[in-house]
Structure 1
Amino acid sequence: MTEQEFFTYKGLPLVRKDNTIYYGNMSDKYVAMLTVLSTHKVKDLEIADKTRVQLMSTDPKTPATEIIAKTSERGSLYEALDVASIWLSKNN
């Protein structure tokens, strides 16, 4: 993988920093921010069991109090990505 390639989900890039995953294109109107709130162990692997999903405006003119357009919590990372994918397809 080169420096400019990202992992993708349903054709949109995923960028991870610690327990936060940004999903979507920064050139679109919105991106999703997924925050892993808690995990559990399955053998040697940490699995997300509570994830917050937030739909965020990418417009730099958006007031700080209005950047987050929607928020939800889901029981797995897959469910959170599914919600984020739906929100992005409806809002971008």
Structure 2
Amino acid sequence: MSEVTFDLEEALAEVLAAHERGMLARAVVVAEVLDTDGDRSLSVLTTPGVPEWDALCLCRYAVLSIEALRPRSSSGMTSDRPGTRHGCGT
């Protein structure tokens, strides 16, 4: 594992403990990153020891949780917020 994943685990554990949210077991972090040229990319990091299939399951569960919170229109379709495309930031 890289040093970044160990630092990520430590930082998340500290934040969760400081806000009394429990003990970190494992995590997947999806972050949009800007490089020095201003180009955007997506970075997916996991805490050490998270197998790929567990990371996928955690991400899918998060998507389902977010979708469940989105308001639905009278047609039953989810409504996009202004300034977004299909629920994703532009």
- TM-score, normalised with respect to structure 2: 0.26
Q: Per residue, is there more helix in 1 or in 2?
A: 2
Who wins on radius of gyration, i.e. which is larger?
A: 2
- TM-score, normalised with respect to structure 1: 0.25
Q: Say which structure, 1 or 2, has more relative contact order (CA 8 Å, 6+ apart).
A: 1
